[in-house]
Structure 1
Amino acid sequence: MNNFKKNLLSVYGVNLINGLCGIMFVPLALKGLGAEGYGLYSIFTIMSSYIYFSELGTTKYFTRILARDKDILHQKKHIQLAVSIYLRLAGALVLLTPIMLYLIPKYVFPVHDSKNIISIIIIYAIVDYLLSLPTAIILMYNIGNEKFLKVSNYNLISGISRHSLLIISVLISDSVIFLMNVYLLRRIIDFYYSIKLLDRIPLGGWKPNYQKGEFKRVISQSIYLSTSQILQISVIALGTYLVNKHFTLQEVGLYKSSFDIATKVWFISNGLGLVIFPRFAAITTDKSQVKNFIKKLKKYNLLSWVVFNIIFLTGILCLPLLKFIFSIQDEMLFGTLLLGTCLNAHANFSYEFLQADGYFKTVILVNLFSLLIMLIGFYIFIDYYGLLSVGISWAISQIFYGISLDIMAFKNYLSINQQLKLLLINLVLLFISIFVFLSFVSR
C-alpha cells in the first residue's frame, strides 16, 4: 500500500472515531443544556469558526508553500514569516474586540434577554482562537510535509480527549459557560499533545521574521483562500443566523442539533481534503502531472457521487432509528439538511483541487452564489414551509455548489461531451436519491 493510501486510511479512521464521539455528544448536550442552551453553544461554535478566518487564509497559504518547497532552510523562513503574520493578526483581532462586542449582539445574533451571554461568547471565541495558534502552526508544518500518520495520531488523542471532556461537562452541568471553559481547557491539552506527537518545527522557526513588504504580499495572495473559506462557512452558518432571526432560541437548538448530526458525514470529506490538498499543491506545479491525474480525478468524482448518494439514502432509510436515538422531530427538515451536507461533502474534492490549482476567484464566485441562493430561497419558502425553509434552501444551494465546482474543476481538462456525460450521470443519481427521499417521508 502506497503512502497516499496509508495517509488517507489513517485520517479516515481517526475522523470516523471522532465523528462517532461527536454524534454521541449531540443528544447528551441537547438533553443536558436544553434546546436553548444548545442554541447558545451553537452560536459559540459558529463565532469560533468565523474568528478562525481572521487569519485571512494564512494557514492554507503556508501549507501550500511548504508542500511545494521541501528545503529545510526555506521552510524555516516560511514558518518564521508565518509566525510574524499570526502575531500581527492576533493583535488586530484583540483591537477589534470592542467593535465586535458592540455589533454582534446587536445586529448578528440579537438574542432576546441574552445580550450579556452573547458578549461573553464572543470573548470566549476570541480566547479560543488565540490559544489555538501555537498548535495550528505545528499542524501546518506537519500537514505541509504530509506527516499524516503523526497528524492522525494527534487528531485521535485530541478528538477523544476533547469529546470526553465535553460529554462529561454536559453530564455534570447545564451551564453553557462551564462548557465553554472546558472547551478552552482542551486547547491547552491540544498543545501538549502536539509537542509530544508531531514533528517539531525547524530550530529557530518560532522566531518572528518581520520582512518589509512580506506581510502585504502574503495577505494579498492568501486573501483569496480566506475569502473562499469565509463564504463557505457563511453558507454553513447562515441557517443558524436565519433561524435565530425569524424563530425562537429553542428552535435554533432543535435546528442546529439536526444539522450537527447531518454534518457528521463530513468526516469523510474533511479527511480527504486534509490529505489531498498538499498532494494537489505539489502536483499542480507540473501541468503534465495534472493531465495524467485528471483521469483518476474523473473516476474519483463519479465514485464520490455514488458514495454520498448511498450515504444519503442510508440516512433516510434509517430515519426511524435516528429519530429514536437523537430525538429528531422533523424528518423532512433532517432529510433536506442531510442531502445538502452530502452534496457539500462530495464537492470538497473539486474544491480542494481548484484551490491547489490556483483558481481562487472561481471558488469564491461559486461560494458567493451558493450563499445568495440559500438566502433568497429561504425568504421565498419561509411563508409556506416555516422552519423547513432553511433545509430546502440549504439543499438547493448545495446542489448548485456541488455541480458548479465539478464543472469548474474539469472544464480545462475534459471535452464538452465528456463533461456533459459526467454531469448527466451525476444528475440521474441525484434525482433518484431525491425521489426515494420524498417517497419515504411522505409515506
Structure 2
Amino acid sequence: MALQRNIAVNYISQLYNGLIGIIVMPFYLKFLGAESYGLIAFFMLLQTWFYLLDVGLSQTLSRETVRFKNNVLSATHFFKLYHYISIIFFALALSLVLVLSLSNQWIATHWLKFSHLSLRDVLLCLQIMFICAGLRCMGGIYRGVIQGFEKIVWISIFNIVINTLRFVVVIPVLYVFDFQIQVYFYFQLGVALFEFAVLWFYHRVLIKQHDPMHLDMMPESANYFKQMLYFALLSGGNFILWLGISQSDKLLLSSLLPLADYAYYSIAILLASVIYMISTPMSNVLLPRMTALFSQNNLLQLEQIYTQFAQFISVVVCSIALTIFWNAHEVVLLWSNDVHTADQVAPVLKLYILGNVFLAINAFSYYIQYAHGDVKRHFYGNVCLLILMLPIIYWATTHYGALGAGVVWLSLHALWFFSWTIYVNRHFITHYWQWSFTIIQILVVSYIFSALLHWLYQGMNIYADSIWIDLLALALFGGLLFAVTAVSAPAIRQFLQQKLRG
C-alpha cells in the first residue's frame, strides 16, 4: 500500500507541477514577449546544466540513505559519507557560480542573440540565474537524503508549493510591476532561497531522527569508501553524459537561434516534457524501493516490480504521446490560442514527443542497474551514444535547426531501445526477451490503433471552432487509445482479471 500511495502522490504532484508550467507559459509569451520568454527558457536550460555539479553525489547519497534506513549500512559509514559529499558539493557549486559570474558579459554579448532587451537587463537576469541555479542544485543533495528516507508524500507536497510560487504567484507580482523581466528573476531568487532553506532544515531533521545515541563501533572499511567513490564517479559520469545527450541540441540552438525563435523551440520541448511528468514520479518511487529489495536479496519481487511498471509506463506514455503526435497542431492551438505559435511549434513537438517515449522506456534499464549498484554498463552505453550523437546533432542543428534536432532525437532514442536497452536487461533480469517483446507489442498496438483513429478523425472532420468540442475530441482520442493499449499489456490484463475475480 505504501508503494501505491507514494506513486499516486508522486503522480498528482508531478502532473500538477508540469501542467501548471505549461498552462501559464502562454501568459508569459503574451505579456513578456517572445524574447523575454526566450531568456526564461535559457534559465531553465541553465538549471539543467547546473546539475553537472551533482556528479553522482546526490544519487550515491540517496542510495546509501536507503541502505542506512534499512539497517544495511552502519551509522559510522553513512555519516562520514554524508559529510564528505556535503563538503565536495558545496565547493563545486560555489566554484561554478563564480566562474559563470565572471563570464557574464561574454554570455550576454557573444552567446545570446537579442534585439529588444537592454544589455543591462540581460546582464542582471543572467547573474540572478547563476545564483538561483546554484541554490537549486545544492538543494539536490538534500532532496537525495529525503528521497532516500522515502518521504515521498512530503517532498511531493513541497514541490507543489514551490512550483506554485515559481509559476503562478509570480504572475500577479509581474502585473503589479508592469511585467518587467528583471522582476521575474528577482522573484525566482526569493523562491530559490526559500526552497534551499526548507530542504536543508527538513533533511537535517530526518538525519537527527535516525541518528543513534552512539555510533557503531564496527571498524571502518576503506574498501567501502572506494566502492562509494567508484559508484559516485560512474553515476556522475552517467549524469554528465546524459546531460550531453539530452541537452546538447538545446544548448546549440540557444546560440544559433534568435531568442524569439528559441522561445518557440522551447515551447515544443516544454509540451513534449509531459512524458517526463509520467516517468519521473516512477523513478522517484521505484529507485529507493528497488534498492531496498536488492539489499534484502528479494530478487524475484524486484524483477516483478520492474516488469509490471515498465509495461504500465509504456502504456501511459504511448497513449499520451500518440494522441499529441496525431493532433499536434490542434493541441498547440488550444493551448496558445495563436495560429502562428501552433504553426511554429507543432512540427518540432511531433518529433520530440515520440523521442521522449523511447527515452522513458530506456530509463528502465538504468533503474535496474541502479538498484543492483552496478551502473558501469549505463556509463559505457552513454559514452557510445554521446560519441554517436554529438557530430550528428551538430550537423543537423546547423543545417536544419529545430527540425533537424528533433529527427536526430527520435531516431537515436528509438535505435537505443532496440539495441542497448535489450542488451542491458539481458544481464539483470531473467526473462529479458519476454520483457522486450511485450514492450514492442505495446508500441506496435498503440501506433496502429492511433493511426486508425487519426484516419477516422480526418474523414469525419471532427475538429470545430469550439474549444469544448475540440477538448472532448482529444479526450475521446486519448481515452480510446489508452483502453486498447492497456489491454495489450499482460501485467495490466492480469491486474484487471484479479480485480474482476475479487
TM-score scaled by length of structure 2: 0.74
> CA shift at 1:322, angstroms?
2.9
2: CA distance, partners of 1:173 / 1:248:
24
Q: 1:126 to 1:382 in 2, by over 3 A?
A: closer
Amino acid at match of 2:16: I
1:111 and 2:116 matched: no
Map 1:57-136 to 2 at 5 A. 57-70=56-69, 73-74=75-76, 75-94=78-97, 96-97=99-100, 100-101=103-104, 109-111=111-113, 120=124, 122-132=126-136, 135-136=139-140
> CA shift at 1:420, angstroms?
5.8
> CA shift at 1:275, angstroms?
1.1
1: CA distance, partners of 2:127 / 2:244:
20
- Quick check: 223-232 or 76-85, which moved more? 76-85
Match of 2:359 among 317, 332, 344: 344
1:294 and 2:303 matched: yes
Q: Which residue of 2 aligns with 1:328?
A: 342
1:226 and 2:236 matched: yes
Amino acid at match of 2:194: I
- Percent identity among equivalent residues? 20
Q: Which residue of 1 aligns with 2:5?
A: 6
Q: 1:86 to 1:292 in 2, by over 3 A?
A: same
> CA shift at 1:391, angstroms?
1.5
Q: Which residue of 1 aligns with 2:259?
A: 249
Q: Which residue of 2 aligns with 1:32?
A: 31
> CA shift at 1:386, angstroms?
4.8
Q: Which residue of 2 aligns with 1:181?
A: 186
Q: 1:98 to 1:167 in 2, by over 3 A?
A: closer
Amino acid at match of 1:398: H
Q: Give the 3-state SS of the residue equivalent to 1:414 in structure 2.
A: coil
> CA shift at 1:189, angstroms?
2.6
Asked if 2 retains the 8 angstrom alpha-carbon contact of 1:374 and 1:396, the reply is no
1:162 and 2:177 matched: no
Match of 1:312 among 309, 317, 321: 321
Asked if 2 retains the 8 angstrom alpha-carbon contact of 1:131 and 1:188, the reply is yes
1:407 and 2:422 matched: yes
2: CA distance, partners of 1:220 / 1:396:
32
> CA shift at 1:135, angstroms?
4.3
Q: Which residue of 1 aligns with 2:153?
A: 149
Q: Give the 3-state SS of the residue equivalent to 1:69 in structure 2.
A: helix
Q: Which residue of 1 aligns with 2:444?
A: 428
> CA shift at 1:310, angstroms?
0.7
- Which ranges in structure 2 are unaligned for 5 or more consecutive residues? 212-219, 460-502
2: CA distance, partners of 1:341 / 1:306:
13
Q: Deviations over 1:156-212 (max 9, x none)?
A: 222222222343355554443322221111123324554787771434999xxxx9x
Amino acid at match of 1:293: L
Q: Give the 3-state SS of the residue equivalent to 2:342 in structure 1.
A: coil
Q: Deviations over 1:194-251 (max 9, x none)?
A: 4787771434999xxxx9x999985553122122222223333223223234433221
2: CA distance, partners of 1:56 / 1:120:
28
Q: Deviations over 1:29-48 (max 9, x none)?
A: 22222222222221122112
Asked if 2 retains the 8 angstrom alpha-carbon contact of 1:30 and 1:257, the reply is no
| Aligned CA-pair RMSD | 3.8
Amino acid at match of 1:395: L
Q: 1:440 to 1:259 in 2, by over 3 A?
A: farther
2: CA distance, partners of 1:430 / 1:381:
29
2: CA distance, partners of 1:185 / 1:142:
22
Q: Which residue of 2 aligns with 1:363?
A: 378
Match of 2:195 among 169, 175, 190: 190
> CA shift at 1:405, angstroms?
5.6
2: CA distance, partners of 1:99 / 1:48:
18
Q: Deviations over 1:411-437 (max 9, x none)?
A: 122357536634642553476489679
Q: Which residue of 1 aligns with 2:500?
A: none
Q: 1:358 to 1:120 in 2, by over 3 A?
A: farther
Asked if 2 retains the 8 angstrom alpha-carbon contact of 1:284 and 1:356, the reply is yes
- Which ranges in structure 1 are unaligned for 5 or more consecutive residues? none
> CA shift at 1:260, angstroms?
0.8
Q: Which residue of 1 aligns with 2:463?
A: none
Asked if 1 retains the 8 angstrom alpha-carbon contact of 2:293 and 2:301, the reply is no
> CA shift at 1:380, angstroms?
5.7
1: CA distance, partners of 2:104 / 2:399:
35
Asked if 2 retains the 8 angstrom alpha-carbon contact of 1:150 and 1:198, the reply is no
> CA shift at 1:378, angstroms?
4.1
Q: 1:294 to 1:423 in 2, by over 3 A?
A: same
2: CA distance, partners of 1:24 / 1:57:
33
Q: Which residue of 1 aligns with 2:14?
A: 15
2: CA distance, partners of 1:11 / 1:386:
35
